[in-house]
Structures are given as structure tokens and as C-alpha cells.
Amino acid sequence: MNDKSRVFAPRILEGRTALVTGGGSGIGLGIAGCLGAAGARVAIASRSMERLESAAETLRGAGIDTLPLEANVREPDSIRNAVLATADGFGSVDILVNNAAGNFYAPSESLSPNGWRAVVETDLYGTFFSSQAVFPLMRDAGYGRIVSISMTLHYRGWPQMAHACAAKAGIDALTRTLALEWAEHGITVNAVAPGPIPTEGVRKAFTPPNDEAPDLFAVERATEEFARRAIPLGRMGDPEDIGNMVTYLVSPAADWVTGAIFVVDGGGSLKGA
């Protein structure tokens, strides 16, 4: 967590509970930190309890009321249990952030059915199952904020990432459709599309398997120079850059915003970065 997680007034989310999938690492942890700094109680859910416990310790150290929950977003019952545990522990689920995802490079001709399923099920099915799981609580409360983390690579296509591009394009479509279906219940549904953020998870996943695959994080290895050239605002992103957009979207400032997808990438996608 860095100082950017404290740009919003500390109480704008007071009394709200957020569930962040994949909240134990990288961007998800940054989002959880920003929401918590704005006053929300935060449940973080993913498969590795060890990772979640360590993240929870960091968040609690920053004074954030945190609940780590083991859950697999690919399994509807598993994420439903996490939603119920959040409601049991904190009294409600007002905010859902669909952040959990998986990704790796693979040429489409040799991408295995299991590899395809793993990414599409985690990113797209996981977003749908999690949104469906929080819906009854949000409907009954007459209030809900859902934000899904998408990406920008599918705007043009990205070689060797057909699974992730297809899944994230599906998330964009789902965002608009759920926004229309659930607006009458006081639920807004938006998405954030980050540019390159050198998280530990993504560094591993994006290690190119062969010479033909574009090396997204060569930018980082080739230092700031690439970022200065390829990203108009001159740097790679931080998890808190995404966390602050999510905080805006779930705050009262965005009460009239739904079905929107916000690109947060320093302008990189405009230059094809």
C-alpha cells in the first residue's frame, strides 16, 4: 500500500462492506487497501489461505477491518459461501470487486482445453458466479456496487492470449448487460480496464514462452525508458491507480454511473502499448 490509497476522504465508505476476489495479492490487494482506507470493511477471497492471511495482516496493520476467506470463483457454491461468510461476519455485502483472474501465454493452436477453461472460467465465469452470488443480498438491500477488473489487450487483440482476451471481452459485455438488468434494484455495475502493472502474479504469467510472444514486461526490465516512450503519462501503473478508480465507482460520487468501462492505463492503449 502506498500514500495514493489515502486520497479519498477517510469516511466516504464508512458502514460499507466490500468483498474483493483475488484480494490477497497485486491489484486486488491495492483495491482492498484503497477501499479500506476510505472506511469500508473488507473481505478478501481467493484459493490460498496463506496468501490471504499475509495480506490481511498488512491491511489490518493499516487499521482496516479485514476478513480473509478461502474461495474458488470457478465454483458457484464456493463463492456463494464466501458471500454468506462476508454477510455473517460484517452484516452485509454492499460492494463486490471481481478481480480474481489467471493468465499465461499460449499459441491458440496448442492451447489445451484445460488451459482455455482455466482462464475463461476464472475470469469470465468467476465474474458471473460472484455477481450472481451477491445479487440476492444487494437486491434485498436495494443497494449494491459491482466493479469488475477487465483489461485493454482485447481492444486490438493480443497474440497468444486468446483465452484472456475472450474472457475479458465477455466481462465487458456482462458489465453492460448486468447494469441494465439490475439498475432497478439500486445496483450499479461497472468495470475498470488497467494498463500494465508489474505485479508479482503478472510477471510470472507474462514470462514469454517463446520468441514470438510479445514480452509485455520487458518494458519493466528495459526500465523506465520504455514506459516513457510507450505510455503517454510516462510510467507503469500501481495497484492503487486501479484501487482509486474502484473507490470512486463505489463512492456516492458515482451514484449515476453504471454500465461503464473505465480505462486506467496512463494513455498506453491509445499508443498500442
Tell me which residues touch ligand NAP (CB under 6 A).
21-22, 24-28, 46-48, 51, 71-74, 99-103, 122, 149, 151, 194, 196-197, 199-202
Q: Give the list of residues 6+ apart from residue 253 with CB closer than 8 angstroms, or none.
A: 12
- Of 12 and 151, the one with the shorter C-beta distance to ligand NAP is 151
Collapse the DSSP code of 159 into the 3-class scheme (helix H, G, I; strand E, B; otherwise coil) and give the result: coil
DSSP string, 96-122: EEE---------GGG--HHHHHHHHII
- Of 151 and 249, the one with the shorter C-beta distance to ligand NAP is 151
Element (H, E) at 179: helix 162-182
Q: Do 30 and 242 touch, CB atoms closer than 8 A?
A: yes
Q: Give the list of residues 6+ apart from residue 41 with CB closer than 8 angstroms, or none.
A: 16, 17, 18, 64, 65, 66, 67, 90
CB of 84 to ligand NAP, least distance (A): 16
> Would you mind telling me the total number of residues written for the chain in this entry?
273
Closest residue to ligand NAP in the complex (CB): 201
Q: Do 52 and 100 touch, CB atoms closer than 8 A?
A: no
CB of 255 to ligand NAP, least distance (A): 25
- Of 122 and 188, the one with the shorter C-beta distance to ligand NAP is 122
- Of 37 and 216, the one with the shorter C-beta distance to ligand NAP is 216
CB of 228 to ligand NAP, least distance (A): 18
- Of 4 and 47, the one with the shorter C-beta distance to ligand NAP is 47
CB of 247 to ligand NAP, least distance (A): 16
Separation of alpha carbons 147 and 98, rounded Å: 6
Separation of alpha carbons 50 and 265, rounded Å: 31
- Of 12 and 205, the one with the shorter C-beta distance to ligand NAP is 205
CB of 128 to ligand NAP, least distance (A): 13
CB of 147 to ligand NAP, least distance (A): 11
